[in-house]
Chain A
Amino acid sequence: MSISKDIPELIEAGIITPETAEQIQQYYKGKSGSSSNRLFVAFGILGAILVGLGIILIIAQNWDELSRSTKTIFAFLPLIAAQVICAFVLLKKSNNKAWIESATTFLFFAVGACISLIGQIYNIPGNLSSFLLIWMLLCLPLTYVMKSSAVALLFIVGITYYAVEASYFSYPITDSSLYWGLLLAVLPQYYFLFRNHPKSNFLTVENWLIPISITVVLGTLASGASSLMYVAYFSLFGLLYTIGNNAFFKDKGLRNNSYKVIGTLGTLILLFIISFEGFWRDIVLEQYVFGNWLTTTEFWVAIGISLLALYYLYTHQKNKSLRELPILSPIFLIFIIIFIIGLFSSFAVVLINLVILTISIMTIIEGAKKGHLGILNFGLSIITLWIIIRFLNTDLSFVIRGILLMAIGIGFFTANYWMLKKRKKNE
């Protein structure tokens, strides 16, 4: 610790009293204690994952020479061992995070190994999604009984894999609506973690996993009227973005604000996709094919998520002025209006392009106001990407394309130069 070297000097110079020096040293001692404990938890989990995966791999070797009953005993051995360790942890080490997390992680993999080996012994057909489902169901209670955050994270990964395997990768695809129930089942744990340990690393990871998982799995609900899924996804990203701007996340850096990052990127990517005419031709076609959208799952999913996003936006924004409205928050509502216009008129595609331009300009203005180079350049990047997509792949002459590129370059340069100059002046 560099500060401990400086302390004698500071005392000599009379800047701090010896008592203060003692307090400072105590403070850092406590802090380093907790950080080494964190390291212990991390390595404990890593160790348990490696041992668990090792067992699964050894089991995958599938010893032909052993009799069926011997194999069965081998299937249960790691499971029982892990259960005994967990019971011991509950009794004797219930306050030690490193013990809890590593023992429960080990049990998590032991359960998987056990079902997997039984599958091999009896040549049970390899339906990966049903295997994952049983595994996850058997391990869900561990997140609450053992109060293990690591298993909650593994659980989220597991149910996501299950939904993806069942509804994207299998042929013929199977229903994975159970995913939503399982996700709901892990949310109380998420809430407790958020309330009791808002600074924990587990929460940071879970903050990333949950929105990513929902984003990935939402698409499994599509049955054919895929343009309506755009409404659902826009509203989902709108909701994530607004959550990313709430009191808890607002001042966090990008690494810790998964909701804002995913909401922003998702919204922008979708806007760019639908800024092409193809999308709008498809929705008119789809309207003919499906005639009545009311009967599709997508319709109700889209309505549900949109209402949720609207409600959250309303509660988040009701005591604030319109000026404080984060730029991307209302995009999902604007999209719904443009979507309806798009059913009747091809003017919609022009509106979407205007929306992209407005967003980029507002982002640039926000960056300039806050004196934030990152935001400023993000706005400039949006407009650059838009220009490249709109103009550079058309039949414009090389001279005009060249001038456009130069204009973009000069724009970046001037904006950054002006900003830096302004900063210097303020200093």
Chain B
Amino acid sequence: MNSKKILLTAFIVVAIIQLVIPAKMIWDKERILETGKEFKFETAPIDPTDPFRGKYIVLQYKENSLQVDSKDTWVEGEKIYVILKTDSKGFAAIDNVSKEKPSDNTDFVKAKVQFISGLHSKTLGISYPFDRFYMEESKAYDAERAHIESQLDSTKTTYALVNIKNGDAVLKDVLIDGVSIVEIVKENRMKD
């Protein structure tokens, strides 16, 4: 009977950990949504399937590379901090990249080095941690199409709305000319 009690206690501890860790993930993200600073990242798209997670749009960003000093060594896959500014049109732009965590009063986001190219003047490609926007399976394709069409239409701007706090980011929405892509898919369906 005693060993049963020990097992049950152990199980309760395990069960609590199994609940606390996902809850902690949620809590962290909610904090970023509540208190983080909002940025708009201009996009360019593509779309695969992931066996575990249904459908989503893969997002690529226009501000995804910069020239770096060729003396510095960067490793592909390495963790970096991208320091952000806002350009004249109100979109996020890269100010600089750093290997060390910047001070708290600058706006920055954690990312990874995607690629390094060039011999003399090096270009550093950045992979942001908010490159997926999840949609219901039946809508992901339509969203993708709407996204591509707006990319081709030079009068429209497409961007991702991202909240950033202390380097951590949460992707809130993808918008075409200020309208959520979810709404656009719904409207297009009504028309059909």
User: Residue B54 contacts which of A62, A75, A76 (CB distance < 8 angstroms)?
Assistant: A62
Interfacial residues of chain B within 108-152, with CB under 8 A of chain A in the complex: 129-137, 139
Q: Which residues of chain A have C-beta atoms less than 8 A from B25's C-beta? A: 115, 118, 122, 124
The minimal Cβ–Cβ distance linking A310 to chain B, given in whole angstroms, is: 37
Determine whether the beta carbon of B18 is less than 8 Å from that of A83: yes
The minimal Cβ–Cβ distance linking B50 to chain A, given in whole angstroms, is: 5
Q: Which residues of chain A have C-beta atoms less than 8 A from B134's C-beta? A: 62, 120-121, 123
Determine whether the beta carbon of B52 is less than 8 Å from that of A56: yes
Interface residues on B, range: 35 or more
Interfacial residues of chain A within 289-347, with CB under 8 A of chain B in the complex: none
Known: A62-B136, A111-B18, A123-B170. A145 touches B54 (CB 8 A): no
Interfacial residues of chain A within 104-161, with CB under 8 A of chain B in the complex: 111-112, 114-116, 118-126, 128, 131, 134, 138, 141-142, 144-146
The minimal Cβ–Cβ distance linking B124 to chain A, given in whole angstroms, is: 13
A247 interfacial contact with B, CB 8 Å:
no
B63-90: CB near A (< 8 Å → 1, else 0) gives: 0000000000000110000000000000
Determine whether the beta carbon of B130 is less than 8 Å from that of A138: no
User: Residue B137 contacts which of A62, A115, A144, A173 (CB distance < 8 angstroms)?
Assistant: A62
Interfacial residues of chain A within 66-85, with CB under 8 A of chain B in the complex: 72, 75-76, 79-80, 83
C-alpha gap A126/B130 in the complex (Å)? 9
Known: A120-B134, A125-B129. A172 touches B77 (CB 8 A): yes
Determine whether the beta carbon of B14 is less than 8 Å from that of A76: no
The minimal Cβ–Cβ distance linking B174 to chain A, given in whole angstroms, is: 10
B1-32: CB near A (< 8 Å → 1, else 0) gives: 00010011011101101110110011001000
The minimal Cβ–Cβ distance linking A144 to chain B, given in whole angstroms, is: 8
User: Residue B53 contacts which of A72, A86, A119, A138 (CB distance < 8 angstroms)?
Assistant: A119
C-alpha gap A126/B134 in the complex (Å)? 10
Determine whether the beta carbon of B135 is less than 8 Å from that of A122: no
User: Residue A142 contacts which of B14, B137, B170, B171 (CB distance < 8 angstroms)?
Assistant: B14
Determine whether the beta carbon of A61 is less than 8 Å from that of B137: yes
Using CB atoms and an 8 Å cutoff, list the residues of chain A in contact with chain B: 56, 59-64, 72, 75-76, 79-80, 83, 86-87, 90-91, 94, 111-112, 114-116, 118-126, 128, 131, 134, 138, 141-142, 144-146, 172-174
Using CB atoms and an 8 Å cutoff, list the residues of chain B in contact with chain A: 4, 7-8, 10-12, 14-15, 17-19, 21-22, 25-26, 29, 50, 52-56, 76-77, 129-137, 139, 170-171, 182
Closest 4 CB pairs of A and B: A60-B54, A172-B77, A123-B171, A172-B76
7 contacts between A and B (CB under 8 A): A114-B22, A122-B171, A126-B50, A128-B50, A138-B21, A141-B10, A142-B14
Other contacts beyond A64-B136, A79-B22: 15, CB < 8 A:
A60-B52, A60-B137, A62-B53, A62-B54, A62-B136, A87-B12, A91-B4, A111-B18, A118-B22, A122-B25, A122-B29, A123-B56, A138-B18, A145-B10, A172-B77
